[in-house]
Structure formats: C-alpha cells, structure tokens
Structure 1
Amino acid sequence: MVQYKSFEVAEVNLTYSPSYKIADRPKISTSKEAYDLVLAQWDLNKINLLEEFKVLLLNRGNRVLGFINISQGGITGTVADPKLIFVAALKAAASYIILAHNHPSENLKASAEDLRLTKKLVEAGKLLDILVMDHLIITKEGYSSFCDEGLI
C-alpha cells in the first residue's frame, strides 16, 4: 500500500475591485442596444468571412462589465465552449450574459445547433445563478434575438 503525505490547502481569498466606475458603463435595456454594442466591438472586415462567438458580461443592473471573444471558426461554424463562457462570467462577477455570434451567410435564422447550444448554456447558467438574457445572431445589416423571438 502506498502512503501519501497529507497536503495543506492554502487559503483562497476572493476580491473584486474594478478600476472603473460602474455607473460610467453602458446599460443594456433592449436587444437593439446589445446589438449596437456588440457590432461596435466586431471586426467588420471578418463578419462576412468567418463565424465568431462573443459574450457580453453584465451586472445585476444590466451595466456592461466586459466583452469577451470566445471563439473564431470557419465559414460554417465555430465552437463555443461553455466552460470558457462561464469562467469569464464568474471572473467578472457577472449576473447576466448576452451571447452573440455572426452568420457569414447573413442568414439570421437560428440553426438547430444554435438552439441546442443556447438551451445548454441557459441550463448551465441556472446552476450558477447567471442568467442568459439573450442570444443574438448578427450581421452588418441586422440581427435576430432569441429573447425577442421567444426562444429563451
């Protein structure tokens, strides 16, 4: 039988001290406001070339805490890893998230995979008390909102 030495566990301290005033951050109240903010962060030279997945991180007052690029794929898809999405939300102390990805085809209709992933992320968010407020499919010309369409 192998004997193992016991290990001490270091104390972990959680702190959160942003270097900005939260009142100075944009407040998101509509899907159009979320779309405008997300589109302003997008590299428009790539929006019709390859699919990307990004997330807006919000506090309980719907103020934007941050914006994160989750993945960049090819012409027909990209991988959005739930672990990366929620580790970012947890690190930012986010209460809400808004998912966003583009369709280079400019088709604003959600695919079966889009619907499956959104459902998975909504369920994961419930476990962590992080609400998925919306999922936007965007193009240069417009967007569709899962929330507005009753899909969330």
Structure 2
Amino acid sequence: MKPLVPSTLVLSSCEIELHYKRPLYSEMSFVGCAEDAVRLLKDYVNPHQLDLREHFWVILMTNANRVISICEVASGTTLGVQTNIKYIFQLILKTNAVNVILAHSHPSGNLKVSTRDVKETKKFLRLAKLMDITLLDHIIITSESFSSFAIEGLL
C-alpha cells in the first residue's frame, strides 16, 4: 500500500462552508445614479489619500441597488493600480451581489479615461455577463470631481 503524504490527507478531508448574512434592508444605502455612488465613496475613502496614490474600490449591491458593501480591492502608486479581477469576483460571490460599481481614483486630478481603464472594464464586463452580474458603472474620482463610464456612454 502506498503511504499517504500529508497534503493528500488534507485535500481528501477538505470542506468549504460559507456563512453570509446581509445587512438589514432598512439600513442599506441606495444608489440610483453616479452622484449617489460618488457621495457614498467620498464618505468611505480617506480624503487625504485621493491625491496621493491610485486606489480601486468595488461597490457591491443587491438587485434593488441597495449597498451590501464597499471594498477597497487595491492600492497602487501615483502612476496606477494593479487590480486582481479574481479577488473582485470572490467578493461578489461571497456577498451574493447582483449589481456592481467599480471605482478608482486618479491622483493627478485628470479625469480622462485611459486605454487601460477601458480595457480592464471590458474584461470585467465579459466575465460579469457570464455570471449574470450587472456592471452599473465605472467611476473615476478625484478630490475635485468625478467621471462616469455610464454617463459618458462607455458601458
């Protein structure tokens, strides 16, 4: 008989169990437009960090656009931020979110949508459609203003 190595023993007894309890409906914020999302983000983010480095957030919502959670998924440099799309989808699945808003900051203050912003958003959209997840918007925020992919017709 072949001896079992420790990794085989662990893998053969693995079990994953997920526990989730959504926030109370009456306490969940509602997002009806980009301005609502920006207000919510400005309450959540550290204003002293907006002009310092690029950050990336995801707003996870129910099918009624009630906010389940806001998560900072990455923090980068003044030149950019590296996101992990797998991590974003893990958060979506763990919270049972249906609607999502992506957001990131541009510390330069420039609200122009970059080629990379468009590429990453399209990649997210392709995967989200496969999982019946709706990307409502991708917002770029600065300390002064914001830009919305939805408003600009980029979604």
Same fold? TM cut 0.5: yes
Aligned length: 150
Alpha-carbon distance in structure 1 between the residues aligned to 2:18 and 2:50: 37
Cα separation, partners in 2 of 1:95 and 1:3, compared to 1, 3 Å:
same
Same amino acid, percent of matched pairs: 35
Cα separation, partners in 2 of 1:45 and 1:12, compared to 1, 3 Å:
closer
For residue 85 of structure 2, the aligned residue among 54, 73, 82 is: 82
TM-superposed CA distance for 1:8, in Å, is 5.6
For residue 57 of structure 2, the aligned residue among 54, 70, 82 is: 54
Segments of 5+ residues of structure 2 without an aligned counterpart are none
TM-superposed CA distance for 1:78, in Å, is 0.4
Query: Aligned ranges for residues 1-152 of structure 1 at < 5 Å?
Result: 14-18=18-22, 20-152=23-155
TM-superposed CA distance for 1:41, in Å, is 0.9
TM-superposed CA distance for 1:130, in Å, is 1.1
Give the match's secondary structure for 2:65: coil
TM-superposed CA distance for 1:16, in Å, is 3.2
Give the match's secondary structure for 1:134: strand
Alpha-carbon distance in structure 1 between the residues aligned to 2:93 and 2:143: 30
Alpha-carbon distance in structure 2 between the residues aligned to 1:40 and 1:16: 25
Segments of 5+ residues of structure 1 without an aligned counterpart are none
Report the AA paired with residue 145 of structure 2.
G
